[in-house]
Amino acid sequence: MKLINCLNEKTVEVRSTLKERGPILSRLVALVLATAGFMDPDALLGEIEAREKLGSTGIGQGVAIPHVHLKGIEGLHVAMMTVPGGVDFGAMDDMPCNIFIIVVGPDEDREGYLKLLAEVSRLLSKEKTRGTLLAAKTPAELLATIRDAEAG
């Protein structure tokens, strides 16, 4: 499962100036629903916030992957945002997060959902990739970085 196949310029935002967890989650929800209105935004935000209460999805090294799997939706839905200033997201390493990827998947396809989460983690474990993503000035540059990282 390739991350690049789940993103497009409408589901990506670069260089956000948001500074708090709540607005970040709200913006990620809006981005993930930008091309596929599969759910009411408030309902999806509620599901994401409930998941975050179980434990932060800040995985460390400046990365957070808010995610949820839900009944009744089809396919995987993903959005991404960079926040160069960083935001306290309760990450495992206590460092601010500045790369956010939201993943929403169907309950009925947990295998695909987990494979995508693994691919995201693999890609973002590389310091060079994280740095290039944060340096991206446009959604197109960010997408090109992901495409190159997945090809290499």
Cβ proximity of 106 and 71 under 8 Å: yes
Is residue 67 part of the annotated active site? The answer reads yes
Catalytic residue (choose from 21, 67, 69, 77): 67
Would you list the DSSP string of 49-93? HHHHHHS--EEETTEE--EEEETT--S-EEEEEEEEEEE----TT
- Contact between residue 120 and residue 129 where contact means Cβ atoms under 8 Å apart: no
Q: Active-site residue numbers? A: 67
